[in-house]
């Protein structure tokens, strides 16, 4: 798949206490795209809008090249949504929920569904009301994967899952995209998992996208710089520079290497500069706390 699976352009949604966007987001076809951000950043809102849960105030959303409003049903036939907020208790038992959802999808894969049920330790006669939180998430995932969707949108699917279950989930996701025809958009607070399993990421904060790109490239673009300055020295603000911590004359800053900040730091009195690679979690914490720490 060469085209973009999801394209969001200038998306806005206004609530009394929160404004999403304008948001531009591109999920390439066949990718596992991790959407990360702090609580209340707008991840779920953006995903909800893709599925028509609410109406965007501006911008457009295209899934597999289809407009999300005009071709709503076609999109939902090709896409699946997983979230801990989805609940199937009204159907009573796992089997009934499966039968209900299966009826909407002619391409439902019964064998795959049975295999997933076994792996997720779910049984046809399990009562949904008595499933644990993690098991309900697994059921949600099972219902989404068994329809063999071209686009899978997962909103914090690993919430409440133990380490083994998380591993299972990501293994299944990797299998789902291995034929290069399926795309996964996943939001999660498990940054280690996101860094390990996704090939693209987008970082959203206060309803706006701060970063987007290939995961390895984004992470490699930043460095944590530790250096010393004279006592009382101050660093002027600059794009690509995020002060993480300062203890007297010792500084920890996150720098965007694309901005050529190493030379700039030296020019502003930084000494003994040590650059170290960052993890996605370091990057996330620094960028999300930016503005609070300063």
- Whole-angstrom distance, CA of residue 254 vs CA of residue 277: 10
Residue closer to other proteins, measured from CB, 48 or 193: 48
Query: Which residue of 33, 88, 197, 251 would you call a contact of other proteins, by CB under 8 A?
Result: 88
Smallest distance from other proteins to CB 267, Å: 49
- Whole-angstrom distance, CA of residue 104 vs CA of residue 157: 22
- Whole-angstrom distance, CA of residue 114 vs CA of residue 131: 18
Smallest distance from other proteins to CB 11, Å: 14
Smallest distance from other proteins to CB 195, Å: 24
| Total residues at interface with other proteins (CB under 8 A) | 54
Residue closer to other proteins, measured from CB, 143 or 173: 143
Query: Which residue of 22, 58, 84, 269 would you call a contact of other proteins, by CB under 8 A?
Result: 84
Residue 117 touches other proteins, criterion: CB under 8 A:
yes
Longest dimension (CA), the chain: 70
Residue 215 touches other proteins, criterion: CB under 8 A:
no
Given the rule CB under 8 A, which of 91-99, 164-172, 180-188, 198-206 is the region that contacts other proteins?
91-99
- Whole-angstrom distance, CA of residue 293 vs CA of residue 254: 12
H/E element holding 261? helix 261-267
User: Are 11 and 60 contacting, i.e. CB atoms less than 8 angstroms apart?
Assistant: yes
Residues from 130 through 189 that contact other proteins (CB under 8 A):
130-133, 159-160
- Whole-angstrom distance, CA of residue 222 vs CA of residue 255: 6
Query: C-alpha distances in angstroms, 179 versus 119, 148, 168, 173, 220?
Result: 21, 12, 18, 11, 27
Residues from 5 through 64 that contact other proteins (CB under 8 A):
15, 48, 51-55
Beta bridge partners of 183: 151
Would you state the structure tokens that stand for residue 285, as one six-digit string?
Answer: 């914490």
Query: Which residue of 9, 26, 58, 86 would you call a contact of other proteins, by CB under 8 A?
Result: 86
Residue 114 touches other proteins, criterion: CB under 8 A:
yes
What residues make contact with other proteins under the rule CB under 8 A?
15, 48, 51-55, 72-74, 76-77, 80-81, 83-90, 92-95, 98-105, 110, 113-115, 117-118, 121-127, 129-133, 159-160
């Amino acid at each position: 798949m060469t085209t973009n699976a999801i394209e969001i352009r200038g998306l806005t949604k206004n609530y009394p206490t929160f404004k999403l966007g304008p948001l531009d987001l591109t999920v390439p076809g066949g990718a596992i795209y991790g959407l990360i951000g702090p609580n209340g950043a707008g991840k779920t809102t953006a995903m909800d809008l893709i599925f028509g849960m609410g109406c965007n105030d501006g911008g457009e959303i295209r899934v597999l090249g289809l407009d999300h409003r005009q071709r709503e049903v076609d999109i939902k036939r090709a896409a699946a949504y997983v979230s801990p907020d989805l609940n199937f208790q009204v159907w009573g038992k796992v089997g009934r929920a499966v039968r209900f959802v299966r009826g909407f999808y002619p391409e439902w894969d019964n064998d795959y569904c049975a295999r997933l049920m076994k792996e997720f330790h779910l049984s046809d006669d399990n009562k949904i009301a008595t499933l644990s939180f993690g098991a309900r998430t697994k059921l949600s995932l099972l219902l989404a994967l068994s329809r063999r969707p071209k686009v899978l949108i997962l909103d914090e699917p690993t919430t409440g899952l133990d380490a083994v279950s998380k591993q299972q989930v990501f293994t299944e996701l990797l299998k789902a995209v291995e034929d290069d025809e399926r795309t996964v958009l996943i939001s999660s607070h498990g940054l280690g998992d996101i860094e390990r399993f996704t090939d693209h990421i987008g970082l959203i904060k206060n309803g706006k996208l701060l970063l987007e790109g290939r995961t390895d490239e984004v992470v490699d673009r930043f460095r944590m710089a530790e250096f010393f300055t004279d006592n009382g020295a101050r660093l002027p603000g600059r794009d690509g520079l995020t002060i993480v911590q300062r203890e007297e004359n010792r500084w920890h800053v996150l720098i965007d290497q694309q901005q050529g900040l190493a030379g700039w730091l030296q020019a502003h009195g930084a000494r003994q500069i040590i650059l170290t690679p960052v993890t996605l979690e370091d990057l996330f914490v620094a960028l999300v706390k930016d503005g609070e720490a300063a």
